[in-house]
Amino acid sequence: QKEEWRKLKDAETVTKDGKHVELAANIGTPKDLTGVNENGAEAIGLYRTEFLYMDSEQFPTEEEQFIAYKTVLEGMNGKAVVVRTMDIGGDKELPYLQLPEEMNPFLGYRAIRICLAEPEMFRTQLRALLRASVYGKLRIMFPMIATLNEFRAAKQMLEEEKEKLVAEGQSVSDDIEVGIMIEIPAAAVLAHQFAKEVDFFSVGTNDLIQYTMAADRMNEQVSYLYQPYNPAILTLLKHVIDSAHAEGKWVGMCGEMAGDQTAVPLLLGLGLDEFSMSASSILKTRSLLAKLDSTEMEALAGKAINECSTVEEVIELVAELTNSL
Q: How far is the CB of 256 from ligand PEP (least distance, A)?
A: 7
Minimum distance from residue 89 beta carbon to ligand PEP (Å): 10
> Residues 37 to 66: which contact ligand PEP by CB under 6 A?
46, 48
CA distance 51 to 153: 24
Indicate the residue among 210 and 294 with the shorter CB distance to ligand PEP.
210
Q: Is residue 293 annotated as involved in ligand binding? A: no
Determine whether 308 is an active site residue.
no
Residue 215 CB, nearest distance to Mg ion (Å)?
Answer: 15
Site for ligand PEP in 82-111 (CB under 6 A): 87
Distance CA 279, CA 37 (A): 9
Measured between alpha carbons, how far is 317 from 42 in angstroms, rounded to an integer?
A: 30
How is 208-240 classified by DSSP, letter by letter?
HHHHHHT--TT-GGGGGG--TT-HHHHHHHHHH
| Residue closer to Mg ion, measured from CB, 161 or 207 | 207
Determine which residue in the list 42, 207, 273, 274 makes contact with ligand PEP, applying CB under 6 A: 207
- Stretch 274-313: interaction string toward ligand PEP, x if CB under 6 A: ----------------------------------------
> 254 vs 297, which CB is nearer to ligand PEP?
254
The annotation status of 84 as a binding-site residue, yes or no, is yes
Choose among 279, 242, 254: nearest CA to 82: 254
**DSSP 8-state secondary structure symbol assigned to residue 97:** S
Query: Does the annotation list 127 as a binding residue?
Result: no
Query: What is the rounded CA–CA span in Å between residue 210 and residue 52?
Result: 25
Question: In degrees rounded to 5, what are phi and psi of residue 103?
Answer: -70, -40
The catalytic position among 114, 144, 187, 254 is 254
Query: Quick one: 17 exposed, middle or buried, by C-beta within 10 A (0-12, 13-18, 19+)?
Result: exposed
Q: Which is nearer to Mg ion, 122 or 211 (CB)?
A: 211
Would you tell me how many other CB atoms lie within 10 Å of the CB of residue 320? Answer: 10
Give which of ligand PEP, Mg ion, none residue 131 binds (C-beta under 5 to 8 Å, depending on kind).
none
Sites for Mg ion among residues 166-225 (CB under 5 A)? 183, 204, 207
CB 266 within 8 Å of CB 216: no
Site string for ligand PEP, 249-278 (x = CB under 6 A): -----xx-----------------------
Q: How far apart are CA 200 and CA 44, in angstroms?
A: 14
Q: Which residues bind ligand PEP (CB under 6 A)?
A: 46, 48, 87, 183, 204-207, 254-255
- The residues annotated with a catalytic role in the active site are 254
